[in-house]
Amino acid sequence: MSIPDKVRIVEVGPRDGLQNEKGPVIDTAVKVELINRLSDAGLNHIESASFVSPKWVPQMGDAAAVMGAINRRPGVVYAALTPNMKGLEAALRAGADEVAVFGAASESFTRNNINCSIAESIERFQPVLETAIKEGVRVRGYVSTTLGCPYEGAIDPTKVADVSSLLYDMGCYEISLGDTIGTGTPLLAKRMLEAVAAKIPLEHLAAHFHDTYGQALANYYAVLEEGLSVFDTSVAGLGGCPYANGASGNLATEELVYMLNGIGVEHGVDLDKLIDAGRYICRELGRANGSKVAYALSEPSP
């Protein structure tokens, strides 16, 4: 399989990046400014909010206000997480262009993340999919813990393929394969992808790798070599998962864009503007920038 000429980047910073931010709830206006800067940088698929319980994830409590205040750029998909009908109804009211349900390949992670079993999660997602599709809104399906679980350790790729197939068969147009805790390594990522791609066409799959162990860029390159062309990343490497201890953010979008520039794969993102967006949000949050590329390009050249 040859490397694709072009990839789609799904920017998850405003959701996956900010959901776990400690400290006071981030101002809605800051989230909106971040999203606007990301679209200005050329990102055309931005996961912008999460319609989950604010008791579980306080940072996403203003999801409707965020969705309502974005400067909507034509051609950009502003997506949101919706774990159940309550979330979907709110997301539709707020004008989400796309929604996502999120399950996992591990029972214990599912229980900790969304308070139900895998089988119950699939039952819960059924009406979400039916309603969203009836409303003309596409549904993405996440499968977490595809390369390891914080509670169960190694995960059998056939389990990942089984849960992915259930979501795909229910009508998810794309399945995003999450290395939630970032323990995966390149050959494991390839084997996992091969198991899932045996059941679901590759063009309906995406990778969502966290960078906890510094493996995400290598893992992305490994699955790019397999022909995968949709990658979830987070500006400035923001983020983590509230129900996966020690998890850090997704690979920084800046790192992926820099690598794609180097190997000549088209992506449509302006690296300078992206770096500015990352610097903006890090300044606002008072936290260090998680992108090495942003750091390297901040120094004047010798």
Q: Which residues are catalytically annotated? A: 241
Place of tokens 């090495």: 292
Among 31, 45, 159, 208, binds ligand HMG (CB under 6 A): 208
Shortest spacing between CB 298 and ligand HMG, in angstroms: 28
Q: Does 242 sit near ligand HMG (CB under 6 A)?
A: yes
How far is it, in rounded angstroms, from Cα 42 to Cα 65? Answer: 23
Q: What are the backbone dihedrals phi and psi of residue 60, each rounded to the nearest 5 degrees, phi first?
A: -100, 10
Nearer to Mg ion, 243 or 258 (CB): 243
Helices (H), 152-300: 157-170, 186-197, 216-225, 253-263, 271-285, 292-296
Site size toward Mg ion, by CB under 5 A: 1
Nearer to ligand HMG, 13 or 275 (CB): 13
Q: Give me the 45-84 binding string for ligand HMG, x by CB under 6 A, dash otherwise.
A: -----xxxx--xx-----------------------x-xx
Site for ligand HMG in 126-145 (CB under 6 A): 142, 144
Nearer to ligand HMG, 28 or 53 (CB): 53
How far is it, in rounded angstroms, from Cα 227 to Cα 3? Answer: 5
Nearer to ligand HMG, 170 or 297 (CB): 170
- Indicate the SS3 state at residue 179: strand
How far is it, in rounded angstroms, from Cα 283 to Cα 300? Answer: 20
The structure tokens listed for 269 are 């993102």
Q: Does 241 sit near ligand HMG (CB under 6 A)?
A: yes
* Number of Cβ within a 10 Å radius of residue 272: 10
CB 81 within 8 A of CB 52: yes
CB 152 within 8 A of CB 244: no
Site for ligand HMG in 147-186 (CB under 6 A): 178, 180
CB 269 within 8 A of CB 255: no
How far is it, in rounded angstroms, from Cα 136 to Cα 129? Answer: 10
Site size toward ligand HMG, by CB under 6 A: 26
- Indicate the SS3 state at residue 43: coil
Q: Does 254 sit near Mg ion (CB under 5 A)?
A: no
Binding-site partner at residue 231 among ligand HMG, Mg ion, none, CB < 5 to 8 Å by type: none
Place of tokens 């999919």: 129
Q: Does 211 sit near ligand HMG (CB under 6 A)?
A: no
Among 16, 98, 107, 179, binds Mg ion (CB under 5 A): 16
User: Applying CB under 6 A, which residues contact ligand HMG?
Assistant: 16, 19, 50-53, 56-57, 81, 83-84, 86-87, 102, 113-115, 142, 144, 178, 180, 208, 210, 241-243
User: Applying CB under 5 A, which residues contact Mg ion?
Assistant: 16
